Structure 1
Amino acid sequence: LLPGVDFTRELALTRELRVGDTTLVRERGELSGFALWHSTPLAAGRPKDELRVLKLVARDLGVFDQVLDALPAAAAAERVGRIAVRCQTEFVAAYQRLVGRGYRVHWTDLRMLLAGQLQHESREGIVMSNWEI
C-alpha cells in the first residue's frame, strides 16, 4: 500500500521489547490490515491506561472498520479502557469514521520533512503511521 515503507523492524521491536503487539485482519487467508499498538505506560511509575495505535494499515475503509472492531478485545486483554489512534488528516474518511465511533481528538501531530527527503504517500488504502524507525 505504501511503496518504499517497511514496518518490519518496528513490528519486531514491539514484540521483542514487550511494549505492545499487532492486531491483524485477514480476508480469505490474506493479510488485509493491521494495527501496531503499544500499551506500556509513557512514564515510569504510571499505570497502563491506554492502548496507543502507532500504525494502522488497511486495504480500504471496510478493512479499516474491521481493524477498529478488533481493537477493543486487545484493549480488554491489556486491561486498559482507552484506545488512542494517530490519524493523519490526509485520511478524511477514516477520520470521520473515528469521530462517528466516538473517538475524540486528543492531540495533533505536526509533520516535518528533512530537505531533500520525499514524503511517502499512500496510493491506495489507508496507511497511518507515526515516525518510522
Structure 2
Amino acid sequence: MTKLTLGSHPYMLGFEQLERMLERSAKSGNEGYPPFNIEQTSQNSYRITLAVAGFSEEDLAITVEDRQLVIRGRQGDDAEGRIYLHRGIAARQFQRSFVLADGVEVGEAIMENGLLHVDLTRAQPEPVVQKIRINKG
C-alpha cells in the first residue's frame, strides 16, 4: 500500500511546498526551552510570547527565513571572575522556529519583564474569481 501524502492526492494540486513545511516544522528540534505561548489577539493577529529571563535585547535575534520565523538567543559568558557556590540558572543558547502561513507577516517585537512578545498579522486576501476562456481546438 502506498503512503498517501498531500502532494500525491489527486484533488490537492500544488501542495508539495505545504507538505515540506510540515515536515520541516516537525523536524525543527524545538525542545522545551524556552517555554512559549501563542495567543490569538484578534481575528487576524497573533502574539508569540517567549520566557527569556536573563536575556537582553542584544542577546536575541529574530529573523524570517523562507516563511519560517526563527528566534535565537545566545548569552555571553559573564562567569569570568565569578565564583559560584551554586549555579542553577542556565545560560544556554536556544533556537525556536515557527512556520508562517502565506499572508502572515511579522510585526513588532517587544521585550517586557523577561518576556519577548512577537506580534503577527494575517492580511485578508481579496476574493479572486477568474474566468477561463475555452478555445476551439
Q: Normalised by the shorter chain, which TM-score bucket?
A: under 0.3
TM-score in terms of structure 1 length: 0.26
Q: With structure 2 as the length reference, what TM-score do the two structures score?
A: 0.25
Give the structure with the higher percent strand. Answer: 2
Higher relative contact order (CA 8 A, sep 6+): 1
Q: Which structure has the highest helix share of the two?
A: 1
